[in-house]
Amino acid sequence: MISLKKCISLFLVLATFSVGAQPSKPEAAKAPSQGNSVESSSESLSLKRIVIYTNGTAYFEREAQISGSGGLDLYFRSSEIDDLLKSLVIQDPARDTPPSVSYSSRDPLDRILKSFSLDLSKNPSGATLLLQARGERVELWAGERFVGNLLGLEARTNGGTPLGREGEETSNDMPYPQTLYVQIFTDQGIKSVPYESISTFRFLNPTLTEEISQALRFIRENRNTDKKRVTLSFSGSGNRIVRMGYVLETSVWKTAFRLVLREGQKHLLQGWAIVENSTDEDWKGIRLSLISGRPISFSMNLYEPIYNPRPKVPYAVERQLPPPVYSAGVAPAPTASADVPRPSAPSAKRSRDSMAEALSDKSLAASAREEAKAEPEGEEFLSPEGLATGSVAKAEATSAGQFIRYDIREPVSIPRRQAALLPILNASVEGERLSVYNESVNRKHPLTGIWLKNTTDLALMGGPITVFEGGQYAGDARIDTISAGDKRLLSYSVDLDTEVMFLDKSLPETVTRIKINKGTLFVSKIQRKERTYTLVNRGNTPRTVLIEHPVSIGYTLIEPTTYEERTESFYRFRTEVKPRLQRGVEFRVLEEKPIESSVTLSTLQTEGILFYINQRTLSEKVRDALSRVVNLRNDLAQASRTRGEFENRIAQITKDQERIRSNMGVLDRTSSLYQRYLKSLGEQEDVLTELQQKLADARNQENLKRKALEDYLSNLDVE
């Protein structure tokens, strides 16, 4: 196995970083009182350090040795200026305040061009420029030289055929050909010069000529929008080292692991970092640190000027007041008393004294500087509070708060647009071999894997893992970030020697509790489901199988009572399977879910009540109460039937009377049949009177039975 030291010697590359920023030679900048300029003993602001994060950003630190005052130029991509302005930190040991930073504005080109006397924003023609410059003194060449002030442009219609397409008849309303003339006021008078004959013209106003030159320069610079110059202006004296740091967007560094499986629980894990130089410059001899973490980062539009439109408010002019006329006084003024305090300036003086005292105290900025100077040295990164020499990079990974940091011991070099594979980890880890079964991954076979435990002192960043076993390639796996001491499952191949089958079974619902409260029946049930796994090992070695059983929402695990591990989506059960068994090993999982329901007893059918009465889990009090409800409902049903019988008999007699009266209407009153009908009506009326009385009694009984049931249910509270 290759040691970490040999891996480093094989794969480490030395380089310098540039982040799309191209340092240039310092330009001489004149100081107000000194003639000296910045002199660099080496390449200006060379890159010394890079810290790359996994959130797509990187911290870059530069330094330069200078002497005196002046400026240093850096070139950045336009897309990087926003991040630069948001994060730039500079330190000059010769001054307490940081140097000034200047850069070209990113004002929209149309807005810049419209600020000049002549608007070049719309790609104007020569005639348009002349029209904009009315009143300016110009020199025209149109066969001869004309000098004068521009009056304007005039379009004259030529005689001849109207303008039309060749071969088409023209109408009188079509336009005639026109010629454009430039009108200038000369010493000899007004001259009309055909515009087509003008070969050259220029403005004699040097200010206007300079504005046109500036506008063209802005157009030219706007075309090259990829590189922008940033100037750092230093003022001070003596030789010193200035430093600057900033955060820019960069490519994400990635990790890849090699896991070598050995006999027992100890295995070898190697970690490699994939670092890409996505810039336009080479990295040479930089100190490189890689940080695994997710710091929050965002981009904000700071480079492009933003204009906020303001409302126009009319200027308020107050109305003039007439001079007042005062009346003469008639009473003498009171004599001033010595006891009356007179307002004077001491209070204002005291206020000024207090302000002077406050100003004489140390300012907050001075206090902050003193506190920064009092802090111990050894600060790792350049920060607004101060800058100290960074510590020597460690060879091993370290924990930095919420992040994991890997410091490369030796300087790193990576050519532009290339990448490097750098070793960051070589450690022994613990791991238990097993097979992992998940029906959603492979319904028939489990996957060969390992339960890896991070026995290192730091978290392992997520990434791909290539597994080697017995000196051969065994498969690939993936992991998320593993905290120190945490365990994580890896699977890298299919275990073809082990087969798994499962059978699902739904069990009938079981009533566990019934109670009655004010006429409402509350029922508690349990719904159960069962799955039986059958595992067969056709290999020659025992298998430890980890079954990932799906977690069902709302269900509680009943059997088995414990599990090896639980995730958000799965239970993990461990089971041992011996080799070459005639019958498979069964593993049973039982889950249950409580169900609560309620029903009003007054609307529940008697058959439903009898169903609950027959439940074994029912208490005697509830059973007696339900039996009482059944009896009351039977009494009410009997009363309803009795009332219904009387109503039916009355309806039959009433219908028969209607028939008799209909027949009597066609008979002679003296006939025997008519007399018989008349007698029958009299007898039926006697029966109806008796039935009406019985029906009223039956209705009263029914109402009493119904009220008795309702009163019993409303006051019923048992369980």
707 and 619 share a domain? yes
Mean of the per-residue pLDDT values of the chain: 78
Same domain, 587 and 504: yes
**Same structural domain, 538 and 568:** yes
632 plus 581 within the same structural domain: no
The interaxial angle of helices 606-613 and 620-664, nearest 10 deg, is 160
pLDDT of residue 562: 93
Q: Cα–chain-centroid distance for residue 656? A: 85
Record the tokens describing residue 555, joined without a space.
């269900």
Q: How confident is the model at residue 496 (pLDDT cuts 50, 70, 90)?
A: very high
Domain that holds residue 568: 498-600
* Highest mean pLDDT out of 93-97, 246-250, 315-319, 395-399: 246-250
**Beta-bridge mates of residue 386:** 383
Q: Is the pLDDT of residue 330 over 60?
A: no
Instruction: Identify the pLDDT of residue 7.
Output: 37
536 lies in the same domain as 582: yes
Q: Shortest CA distance to 438 belongs to which of 361, 503, 491, 487?
A: 491
Structural contact between residues 242 and 70, judged by C-beta atoms closer than 8 angstroms: no
pLDDT at 317 over 80: no
- Peptide bond just before 560 cis, omega within 30 deg: yes
pLDDT over threshold 70, residue 31: no
Identify whether 167 is part of a domain. no
Q: Is there a single domain that holds both residue 585 and residue 620?
A: no
pLDDT attached to residue 22 = 37
Quick one: 536 and 630 in the same domain? Answer: no
pLDDT at 175: 60
Is 271 in contact with 8 (CB distance < 8 Å)? no
Residue at 563 is within a domain: yes
pLDDT at 400: 55
Is the pLDDT at 484 greater than 70? The verdict is: yes
Average pLDDT of the segment spanning 58-64: 91
What's the total number of domains in the chain?
2
Q: What phi, psi does 504 have (nearest 5°)?
A: -95, 145
Name the domain boundary from 580, 600, 620: 600
Which range in 75-84, 105-114, 448-457 is most confidently predicted, on average pLDDT? 448-457
pLDDT for 136 equals 86
- pLDDT at position 130 over 80: yes
pLDDT per residue as tens digits for the range 109-122: 666 677 777 777 77
Q: Are 81 and 103 in contact (CB under 8 A)?
A: yes
Is there a single domain that holds both residue 651 and residue 574?
Answer: no
What letter does residue 393 receive in the DSSP assignment? P
Quick check: is 292 in a domain?
A: no
Q: Find the largest Cα–Cα distance for the chain.
A: 155
Name the band, by pLDDT with cuts 50, 70 and 90, for residue 18.
Answer: very low
Asked, for residue 686, whether it belongs to a domain, the answer is: yes
172-198: average pLDDT = 81
Contact 424, 271 (CB under 8 A): yes
What does the block give as tokens for 350? 């005291």
Is position 228 within any domain?
Answer: no
The predicted-structure confidence for 211-263, as pLDDT tens digits, reads as follows: 888 878 777 766 665 677 788 888 888 888 888 899 999 999 999 999 999 98
Residue 705 inside a domain? The answer is yes
596 and 511 within one domain: yes
706, part of any domain: yes
What is the CATH number for 695?
1.10.287
pLDDT at 126: 80
For the chain, what percent of residues have pLDDT higher than 70? Answer: 77
Q: Of 566, 600, 634, at which residue does a domain stop?
A: 600
Q: What CA–CA distance (Å, rounded) separates 645 from 716?
A: 32
CB–CB of 417/277 below 8 Å?
yes
* pLDDT number for residue 499: 94
Same domain flag for 616 and 712: yes
Tokens of 214: 């500036």
Higher pLDDT, 365 or 125: 125
Model pLDDT for residues 366-398, shown as the tens digit of each residue: 333 333 333 334 445 554 444 333 333 333 566
Residue where one domain finishes, among candidates 543, 578, 600: 600
Is residue 680 domain-shared with residue 586, that is, in the same domain? Answer: no
Q: Report yes or no on 551 lying in a domain.
A: yes
The dihedral region occupied by 620, where left means phi > 0, alpha psi between -120 and 50, and beta the remainder, is: alpha
644 and 700 together in one domain: yes
What type of residue sits at position 442?
Answer: N
Burial class (CB in 10 A: 0-12, 13-18, 19+), 99: buried
